[in-house]
Structure 1
Amino acid sequence: MLDVRRMQVLRAVVTSGSVTAAAANLGYTPSAVSQQVAALEKQAGMALLERVGRGVQPTAAGRLLTEHAAIIGRQVAEAETALDDLRAGRTGRLAIRYFATSGATLMAPALARFRQEHLGVRVDLKMTDPEDPLPEVTQGRADLAIVVRPHGRLHEGVRLVHLLDDPYRAVLPKGHRLASKRVLDLTDLADEPWVGSEWPGPCLDAILEGCAAAGFSPNFVVESEDYASAQGFVAAGLGISLIPDMGLANRHPAVVVRKVRRPEPIRAIHAAVRETSLGQPALGGLLTALRDAATQ
């Protein structure tokens, strides 16, 4: 196999016209340059230089390798420039996963800002509902995912960056006996028929754990697993529901929404990234944009 560094030494000799001049340009001794060329000739199995007066000129094989050395030199320079751009966050690709209700509130404003600051970075953005997007990060298919996880829950090799806490609200049909109260204790809902609003997973767990802390298990009479449908079932008088604040952007006109306490179920929303990816400037820029979107 031809040695690329020796090919660049040969190129220096050919372009400068002599071993002595090439050595001066490279900062080598003439004997070191001659040794590099001789070793390359041994690899090539052909003579690469021939003497002409006090200088040298390339043989046909020498011209061939010199031309390829020039191409390789340009490609290495281009690779170094591309690597610098990637290292600085000017180029690259980020695979992002998110769940539906985080889209408008977090992902949209964060991505708009990110694209202004990182024009050359391509973003692969996909929604994962109803699947939990965390495995996309742990298995290396995504660089960042918006996830719901309890505070303090650790996952090997993954950093969870807290963005915001999204509290659940009680959704009641208008005219319900509890609608006159501004704030409800969670136990007020213990004997009510419930309309499910969540798929099995971390979001539903937040509801069930809150109810367990209040000393009861909810009686689900309708399973909708969709916030808009859940509001429709509530409006029809089939039961009450708990829906996170971020899921109530479009409220049904026939429901009322009340805060809940003692306890207030909350889903903690995080950005999940692999520990090994945290040094990427582009990823850091997206995390900053997400944090800012969360505070707004």
Structure 2
Amino acid sequence: MLDVRRMQVLRAVVASGSVTGAAAHLGYTPSAVSQQIAVLEKEAGIALLERFGRGVRPTAAGRLLTEHAAAIGRRVTEAETALADLRAGRTGRIAVRYFATAGADLVAPALARFRAEHPGVRVDLRIAEGAPDADADLTLVVRPRGGAPDAYGEGLRLVHLVDDPYRVVLPKGHPLAGRRAAVDLAELAAEPWVGSERPGPCLDAVLDACAAAGFSPDIAVECEEYATAQGFVAAGLGISLVPLMGLGGRHPGVVVRRVRGPEPVRAIHAAVRESSLDLPAVRGLLTALREV
């Protein structure tokens, strides 16, 4: 197998026309250069240089390897430049996974800000519910508020971004709809509920808050989509709790009020690959998500 470093020595000899000139350029002794060429000729199985006047010139095989050495040198230079751009956050690719309700209010404005500051970085953005994607640099996840450690799974770090409080969605004409103040969660204990969450940390945030208020909600209608849940509420089939980020499209037949005693909150975090935290682009995206 041909040694790439020895090919670059050959290139230097051909460029200078002599072993002595190549040695001076490379900072080697002429003897060391001669030894490198001898080993390379043994690897190639053919002579690469021939004497010419007071110097040397390449044989046909030597010209062939010199051309390839030049191409390899260019590729190495390109790789070094690309690596420097990646380290500086000028180029690269970031794989980001997010859940749907974080898109409009959190991901979209953060990504717009990020692209203005890092125009050469490509962001691969896809929806992924649940656990962090193993192939992603950053995945948005929901965890219990106040209970999540910095470390999150092998090779991942959990970074808190924002707390997303829940609001009670009431049908127009409901006795509590005319109240401007926050609704006590206990006042909803006897109501039929429209469940807006699938099993998981979001639903846990609602159930834990209800348990703290002294009751378990009576789920009359199961629904795992916020807009549809509002439709059931508007039809008078129950009340529902929906996170603030899930209320982007407000149904005209409902009223939304704050909740207290306690206020259910889902904590949104970024699960980031430890190795990706070394990239300025990933740190820049985290900053944009926090600022938004």
TM-score, with structure 1 as normaliser = 0.93
Aligned residue type for 1:178: L
Q: Unaligned stretches of 5+ in structure 2?
A: none
Q: Matched residue of 1:96: which SS?
A: strand
Q: For residues 76-107 of structure 1, give each alpha carbon's deviation from its aligned partner in whole angstroms, at most 9, with x where no partner exists.
A: 11111111111111111111111122111111
Q: Note if 1:153 corresponds to 2:130.
A: no
Q: Note if 1:144 corresponds to 2:138.
A: yes
For the residues of structure 2 that align with 1:178 and 1:64, how far apart are their CA atoms? Answer: 85
For the residues of structure 2 that align with 1:38 and 1:152, how far apart are their CA atoms? Answer: 66
Alignment of 1:1-296 (within 5 A): 1-128=1-128, 131-132=129-130, 134-136=131-133, 139=134, 141-150=135-144, 151-154=146-149, 155-156=152-153, 157-181=155-179, 182-293=181-292
Q: Deviation of residue 223 (structure 1)?
A: 1.1
Q: For residues 246-272 of structure 1, give each alpha carbon's deviation from its aligned partner in whole angstroms, at most 9, with x where no partner exists.
A: 112222222221211111100011111
Aligned residue type for 2:161: L
For the residues of structure 2 that align with 1:74 and 1:118, how far apart are their CA atoms? Answer: 26
Aligned residue type for 1:68: H
Note if contact 2:132-2:141 (Cα within 8 Å) is conserved in structure 1: no
For the residues of structure 2 that align with 1:104 and 1:58, how far apart are their CA atoms? Answer: 64
For the residues of structure 2 that align with 1:126 and 1:63, how far apart are their CA atoms? Answer: 50
Number of residues of Structure 1 aligned to a counterpart in Structure 2: 287
Q: Matched residue of 2:278: which SS?
A: coil
For the residues of structure 1 that align with 2:47 and 2:169, how far apart are their CA atoms? Answer: 86
For the residues of structure 2 that align with 1:252 and 1:65, how far apart are their CA atoms? Answer: 72
Q: Deviation of residue 119 (structure 1)?
A: 1.6
Q: Unaligned stretches of 5+ in structure 1?
A: none
Q: Matched residue of 1:135: which SS?
A: coil
Note if contact 2:132-2:140 (Cα within 8 Å) is conserved in structure 1: no
Q: For residues 140-165 of structure 1, give each alpha carbon's deviation from its aligned partner in whole angstroms, at most 9, with x where no partner exists.
A: x2111121112332422221211111
For the residues of structure 1 that align with 2:235 and 2:94, how far apart are their CA atoms? Answer: 43
Post-superposition, which runs of at least 4 consecutive aligned residues in structure 1 deviate over 3 A? none
Q: Matched residue of 1:276: which SS?
A: helix
For the residues of structure 2 that align with 1:242 and 1:103, how far apart are their CA atoms? Answer: 19
Aligned residue type for 1:215: G
Aligned residue type for 1:200: P
Q: Matched residue of 1:278: which SS?
A: helix
Q: Deviation of residue 34 (structure 1)?
A: 0.8
Aligned residue type for 1:286: L
For the residues of structure 2 that align with 1:70 and 1:153, how far apart are their CA atoms? Answer: 53
RMSD: 1.3
For the residues of structure 2 that align with 1:231 and 1:272, how far apart are their CA atoms? Answer: 30
For the residues of structure 2 that align with 1:200 and 1:251, how far apart are their CA atoms? Answer: 24
For the residues of structure 2 that align with 1:275 and 1:14, how far apart are their CA atoms? Answer: 46
Q: For residues 101-156 of structure 1, give each alpha carbon's deviation from its aligned partner in whole angstroms, at most 9, with x where no partner exists.
A: 2111111111111111222211111123xx31x331xx2x2111121112332422
Q: Matched residue of 1:167: which SS?
A: strand
Q: Matched residue of 1:119: which SS?
A: coil
TM-score, with structure 2 as normaliser = 0.94
